[in-house]
Chains A and B, each alone.
Chain A
Amino acid sequence: MTIKIAQLSCGTEYSSVQHEIEKAASAVGAKTVYPDVSHADVKAALDRFGFAPRSAQLKLMIARAVSLADGRYDADAVFITTCFRCAEAALVRNELRRFIQDNTRLPVVTYSFTERLKAAQLLTRMEALVTIVTRKEILARERQSGITVGLDSGSSTTKAVVMRDNEIVGKDWTPSGDVVQSAQAVLESALRQAGVEMSQVEAIGTTGYGRFTLGRHYGAKLVQEELTVNSKGAVWLAGRQRGEATILDIGGMDNKAITVRDGVPDNFTMGGICAGASGRFLEMTSKRLKIEITELGKLADAGNWRNAKMNSYCSVFGIQDLVTTLGEGKSFEDVAAAACHSVAEQVYEQQLQEIDVRRPIIQVGGTSLISGLVTAVGEVLGEKPIVPRDSQYIGAVGGAILSSGFL
């Protein structure tokens, strides 16, 4: 079955990126489709939507969205994309996302592109849309069974988890180097801890940037993008398999915010335009403060971000702020708190605006171990996030749980 992703867009054909979008969709077994609308539909759609942009292509986007919402066009998922830096399009893009979510059950992802967009940048997003549509039953799985392994090959760290009968019995992580060697090292360690032989493992699930390489190497039963796998691991670890939640993963290279209903993701945003809003900025901060990243959180908790001005919208400017602030004689504690607050603020401003945040917020990934960052996220969102145990292992846990669905 080919998954139909309805494309609602403005400017793609004039930015030389349309073929990249189609390439990304095709790579994950989907195709982009364009809801048919007549000229007469456009005016009626604008009246119904209530927002009348000046640009004709944005009007067409709205008409196509209304066609989907009214069930006049059949699609499995929606991809909304417009030019980066266009204010009119940004308003329409965000409101259309909300409109589609209010009026349909279709998974939606939004994206703003430049002419440099390459299919690889969209691959994970497209794959997640397809996974949500095609693997609903597997994603709904609440328990792990048998002996399975999850491998998460992330941009910063590689993690392995061994699970037996819905329990974690072995786990390990290492900084990412060679994809296979890093995975092999943590896998061996986790198996040793679990007292399990490789021959006893019934299924392997791989996720993260190195998932395809590891999937081929280990003959994995599940090779799946990290958006859906991480959300499964997160709700299982947090004991929030039922009801709604938002999962926030501030990663080393990009950030993910995923909303889930009964453990199944229904919307997500994934960002990574600037390292200033990711864990990488905190790494740079600890390096400048000459402390281990593991110490940064406690240091931040002892400080007050209001005493140090920092804005990590761009990591280069962020580090400039850091140097200036230290030069002014601010305390390390205040600077650490400001760095954490800055990342939390950027994540909120750049990403969480793109989804409707649902409570509770479950913060996961390696950065959730930085307590100062969790505090900052809580302050920015007005509610302290839940950080489950083993929160840095979400991808590996998700992989182990979901791969057991193939037994």
Chain B
Amino acid sequence: MKVFIDPPNSLILFDLVERFGHEPLGAMASIQERIDNIELDMPPMNVTLDDVVGGLRYAGVEVPSGIRGRLALWGPMIDAAEAAVIMTDAPFSFGCVGCERSSEMVKYLIQRRGIPCLRVGYPETEEEAEDAVLRIKGFLEGLG
């Protein structure tokens, strides 16, 4: 199944989803596609003007361009996702979209889709980390 991860650039979540047999939908693939196909080979130039305009599908023109540009990357993936894993309260070193408003909107878009979704709090201790991995494993295995 296609599983969207939030934060979309979390390598740990990406790896867990792949390890348990699903297709992770995250920032890496989206940015890689732009590097490969649009010759934007100088990250962080991640989006084109067309992308930002395309972001209007998810947020109105009065929304700052940086939010629309981000949503243009994550929005289509959320549309395509069949499930999602969200790590809440994660520090930005774990992965983030850089902008809190964009992050709120990403979570909202996932909820609006009504797909199976697991919310896991960011673990602060080793025990919590083990528990978080077990919960994610259980969720992913249950997706069938």
B residues contacting A by CB (< 8 A) are 42-49, 51-53, 62-70, 73, 92-93, 96, 98-101
Residue pair A55, B100 in contact (C-beta under 8 Å):
yes
**In the complex, which of the residues A17, A89, A115 contacts B53, with contact meaning CB atoms closer than 8 Å?**
A115
Decide yes or no whether A114 CB sits under 8 A from chain B. Answer: yes
B92 touches A15 (CB 8 A): no
Counting CB contacts under 8 A, is A126 at the interface?
no
Which A residues are CB-close (under 8 A) to B73? Answer: 14
Interface segment, one of A79-87, A137-145, A211-219: A79-87
Measured CB to CB, the closest approach of chain A to B72, in angstroms, equals: 8
B64 touches A16 (CB 8 A): no
Q: Is A14 a contact partner of B92 (Cβ separation < 8 A)?
A: no
- Contact (Cβ within 8 A) B99 A16: no
By a CB distance below 8 angstroms, the chain A residues around B62 are 85
A11 in the interface (beta carbon within 8 A): yes
Q: CA separation between A14 and B42, bound complex, in Å?
A: 13
Interface residues of A (CB under 8 A from B): 10-19, 39, 53-57, 59, 82-86, 88-89, 113-116
Closest B residue by C-beta to A43: B91
Chain B residues whose C-beta falls within 8 Å of the C-beta of A86 in the assembled complex: 64, 66-67, 101
Identify B65's interface contact among A15, A54, A55, CB under 8 A.
A15
Contacts A16-B69, A83-B66 aside, 15 further interface pairs with beta carbons under 8 A come to A10-B98, A11-B64, A11-B67, A13-B45, A14-B47, A14-B98, A14-B99, A15-B52, A16-B52, A18-B45, A82-B66, A83-B65, A85-B64, A89-B64, A115-B52
What are 7 A-B contacts defined by CB distance under 8 Å? Answer: A16-B47, A16-B49, A17-B65, A19-B45, A56-B96, A84-B64, A86-B66
When A11-B66, A15-B66, A39-B93 are in contact, do A57 and B99 touch as well, CB less than 8 Å? yes
The 4 closest A-B pairs by CB, nearest first: A11-B66, A14-B69, A83-B64, A13-B44
Kindly identify which residue among B48, B53, B65 contacts A11, using a CB–CB cutoff of 8 Å.
B65
